[in-house]
Chain A
Amino acid sequence: AQSVTQLDSHVSVSEGTPVLLRCNYSSSYSPSLFWYVQHPNKGLQLLLKYTSAATLVKGINGFEAEFKKSETSFHLTKPSAHMSDAAEYFCVVSLGSGGFKTIFGAGTRLFVKA
């Protein structure tokens, strides 16, 4: 069975400090992994994706994520948080083998303090 677990429902950081949003996945196949961001009353925006190429993936707005197969993790990081990063973040696993299926994590709400 495939699943994705976001380990923190809420994360709070101060502006200018690093951000770490944790995600673990379970998959019987080689998954594709994504991080999406959802700002209040806005649509979902793709931050970055891993699709079996380089394990360190760089996305938009300074975010990056590293795929670690041994740890079944795909944590999202950013060296320095900005106030505009405050939003809901979703880790997503999708499977393209034998049909397409996407599973969303529960989400992590990021708060950024001034």
Chain B
Amino acid sequence: SAVISQKPSRDICQRGTSLTIQCQVDSQVTMMFWYRQQPGQSLTLIATANQGSEATYESGFVIDKFPISRPNLTFSTLTVSNMSPEDSSIYLCSVLLTGQLTYEQYFGPGTRLTVT
């Protein structure tokens, strides 16, 4: 299993500012992901962040708005840039653990962001 922590757990930010969310995992993992969960909605994948390569963004998400860093196998950051109220969401970090025949995805507790 994997234990994931995120900082901050929540924040209230003013529009036009940026927030960097940190994700720490208790073991080395190759594949990390960032998701957004808008109020009352399901999870939407923002990007896949593999160590040693550029993050891969899903349709509708761009690097200028959501820059991601992945400096090592246990840590990643997601920045939400030039925030607007529409960015108010829960942002979740996730990792994939692979075994011989199976794999499991684990999620962090999330960062609840409110933009005013």
Contact = CB atoms under 8 A, between A and B. Distances in A.
Size category of the B interface is 20 to 34
B42 A104 contact: yes
B114 to A, nearest CB: 14
Interface string B77-116: 0000000000000001000100001111111111000000
Interface of B is mostly: strand
Contact of B45 (A46, A49, A102, A106): A102
Nearest to B101: A51
Interface in B20-40: 31, 33
Contacts of B96: 100
A63 interface: no
Contact of A51 (B31, B41, B92, B102): B102
A44 B42 contact: no
A43 interface: yes
Contacts of B106: 46
B50 to A, nearest CB: 10
B104 A90 contact: no
Interface in A30-71: 32, 34, 36, 42-44, 46, 49, 51
A105 B42 contact: yes
A104 B96 CA distance: 15
Interface of B: 31, 33, 41-45, 48, 92, 96, 101-110
20 contacts: A32-B102, A34-B105, A42-B109, A43-B92, A43-B107, A43-B109, A46-B104, A46-B105, A46-B106, A49-B102, A90-B42, A94-B105, A96-B103, A100-B48, A100-B103, A102-B33, A104-B42, A105-B42, A106-B42, A107-B42
